[in-house]
Structure formats: structure tokens, C-alpha cells
Amino acid sequence: MNFEFPEWHRLHKQKDKATLSSAADKSGLPPGSLVHIGEKHATSSRISVIQYNDHAINECEIKTIAELQQLHSDESITWVNIDGLSNARIIEDIGAQLNIHPLILEDILSTHQRPKLEEYDDYLYLVVKSINVNDNNALEMQYEQISILLLTNYVITFKEKAEDIFRPVRYRLQNNKDRLRQNGSDYLTYVLLDTIVDEYFVIEDHLDEIIDPLEDSLLTNPDQKALQIIQHLRRELITMKRSISPLRELLSTIQHTDTGLIHEKTLRYYGDVHDHVLRVTDSMDSYRERIAVIQDVYLSSISNKMNETMKILTIFAAIFIPLTFLAGIYGMNFEYMPELKWRWAYPVLWLVFITISIGLILYFKKKKWL
């Protein structure tokens, strides 16, 4: 689909028109315009196909969607996985090959979608968010939109990057005794969803590894770095909740949908994924509350630390006030001051200074101000 931007459109002179960074860049274009919206990845489009049934499996890569017609089989389940969304031509060809609505094709290329389910006569369209966390001390998460088309004998997945989150699924398919090989495309879709949701529990473990030490350190050493971590965690948890919470509605809708694409015996498996999502969302709420409490603890610790500093400064000021008073008296330029002619006046004055200082310190300790 070679779509040309009109001259009045702000992207008319943009060199890379195949990828837009924001949905706002698409403003004014007609519905169904196949333009990739989202982060541009280095992944080139790659199409892999796995066909399987209870006694055989075949895995291959194809260059064009036209080759998919040659692999069509009513006796096997065909799983087509597309890595990389930079080539809108592939998405357009899939729409023409399988009679997919243009608005669905547009949503596949728009990677800012919220998780959702759309039901059509011959297929279901699902959008979910895959979340991966980098293996380091900071919470740096990477989000990827995964679109799934569920048809009678087809499951088509669309991924932004080449990272193989579905490696466990491929491994299970190699076992001809696995339940996955004995069921249809609806069960494969369940397994894909379950694999994505399982990654959320990995993130929970990572959050515990960050939050637990953070809580302990705030009581002893509240510093600016801790505040930066707190703010980063708050932003990430908000983004995670926005990406995970809609899955509850999606899976609840699946369990109550009236479609022949999902068999009744498979619905209970979707119910299990729904329970997992509820657990994750409850944990997200718990983490957000903990972060709010941690922030309050941080502010209280900083306030207490400042109060301790002010107390020490105030005590020193209180000790030197009477000394300054005495020094001020003897700093006055009067000719007739009896103590000025005394031989031991200076040592006596220092004795008075020391006595007053020690007396004030003892008094402060008695009052428990020190």
C-alpha cells in the first residue's frame, strides 16, 4: 500500500514515512492507513511458520505472505509469527490473504494500543503488552505490543522485535505428547497469553529485589539517589498498571464471548490466566502503596535529619550566646573598667567561659536535648 501524504500534512517532507513516533503524527490521515506508529527498531521483518498436529510438526521461514497459501492445511494448526513491523506490505498482504478488516491492520501497526479484544465473525483480534526487565540493579523495563489473530486453524502473532518471548512455546511444540499438540488454535492462543503473563511474575520478583533494600536504606541513609529511585519506580508502576489492568477485561470478555473459535473446554484455561492477571494487578496496587509509604518515610527521614542538624546548630549557638555577651562587654572601649588592670583577669575570664560552656552542655543533657 503506497500511501502518499498530502502536501498540507506535516509529515509530507519527512524522509522516513514508514514509521511515526506518535499517534498525533497520523492526525488527518484516513482510517485504515497502514503506517507504523511507535519506536523504530532495527529488527527487519521476518516471517516464521509452524504447522503441527498430534503426529507431525513442520517449521520454516517464508519471504512473502503469498507462500502461506501453499502451506494451507485443514488438518494442521498453522502458527505464523511476524517479527518486525517496519514492512507494512506484509501486514497488507495478510489482510488480503485472510480477509482481515483494514482497521485491524491499522491497529497492528499502531503500537500504542491498550490491551483489548475485538470479535469478528471469522476471527478474534487480541492486543497484549509484553514487559521485559533488564537484568541489572535498576528497574528498566521494555514494553512490546504483541497482536494476535485467532482464526479457525490459524494463529498469527505480530511482534515489534525479534526477541523470542515465545521460545518456551516452541519448545513445547517439539513434544508430540504435550497437550498443546492435541488441541486447536484456541489452546495455542491461550498458551501464548499465558507465556506473556508469566513474565509479569518475573517483574514482581525484580521489584522485591529493589524495594526491600530501599526500605531498609531509607531509615539509615536517605539521600538524593533514593528519591530518584522512588520517582522512577512510581512512573514504571503507573505504566505497568496501564499495560496490565486492561487484560482483566479482555480475559473476562473471552470467557463470556459467544464464538465458535474458542471451545468450552479451553475456556477454563483462559480463566486460569485471568486469575494470574488478577494476582499481578493486586501486586501492582500493593507495590504502589509501598512506594507511597516509602516516599513518606523518605520525607520523614529527611525532616528528622534536618531537625537533628538544626538541634546541634542551635545548641552551639546557645552555648556561644553568653560567651559572646561577655566578650562583647570586654570589647567596649571604656577607659575605666576595673577588670582590665587585674593580673589574672584574662585567665579568670577563660575559666568563666569554660565553666559556662560545660554547665550548659550538662544542662542540655539533663533536659535530654543532647
pLDDT at 194: 94
Q: Are residues 132 and 224 in the same domain?
A: yes
In sequence order, the β-bridge partners of residue 142 are 132
Task: Give the rounded distance of the alpha carbon of 213 from its chain centre.
Answer: 20
| Continuous H helices in 221-263 | 224-244, 246-256
Region for residue 76 given its phi and psi (left: phi exceeds 0; alpha: psi -120 to 50; beta: otherwise): beta
Residue 231 in domain: yes
pLDDT at 24: 58
Residue 8 in domain: no
pLDDT digits (tens, 9 = 90+) for 41-88: 666 788 899 999 888 899 888 888 888 877 777 788 999 999 988 788
Separation of alpha carbons 11 and 20, rounded Å: 9
Residue 4 in domain: no
Region for residue 287 given its phi and psi (left: phi exceeds 0; alpha: psi -120 to 50; beta: otherwise): alpha
Low-confidence ranges of the chain (pLDDT < 50): 1, 15
204 touches 277 (CB < 8 A)? no
Residue 2 in domain: no
pLDDT at 19: 55
Q: Are residues 198 and 81 in the same domain?
A: yes
For 145, which DSSP code?
A: E
Q: Are residues 329 and 184 in the same domain?
A: no
The three three-digit cell numbers of residue 360, written as one number: 550548659
Q: Are residues 171 and 289 in the same domain?
A: yes
Write the CATH number for 42: 3.30.460.20
Q: Are residues 65 and 149 in the same domain?
A: yes
Q: Are residues 227 and 247 in the same domain?
A: yes
Q: Are residues 243 and 185 in the same domain?
A: yes
Region for residue 28 given its phi and psi (left: phi exceeds 0; alpha: psi -120 to 50; beta: otherwise): left
Residue 5 in domain: no
Q: Are residues 190 and 243 in the same domain?
A: yes
Q: Are residues 318 and 343 in the same domain?
A: yes
Residue 31 in domain: yes
| Total number of domains in the chain | 2
110 touches 20 (CB < 8 A)? no
Separation of alpha carbons 100 and 128, rounded Å: 19
pLDDT at 320: 83
Write the CATH number for 320: 1.20.58.340
Residue 12 in domain: no
Domain C-terminal end among 282, 300, 318: 300
269 touches 195 (CB < 8 A)? no
pLDDT at 6: 59
pLDDT at 115: 92
Mode of pairing for the β-strands spanning 141-150 and 116-119:
unpaired
Domain C-terminal end among 278, 300, 322: 300
Q: Are residues 290 and 361 in the same domain?
A: no
Residue 331 in domain: yes
Q: Are residues 165 and 263 in the same domain?
A: yes
pLDDT at 4: 59
Domain C-terminal end among 242, 273, 300: 300
Q: Are residues 77 and 218 in the same domain?
A: yes
Domain with 336 in it:
308-366
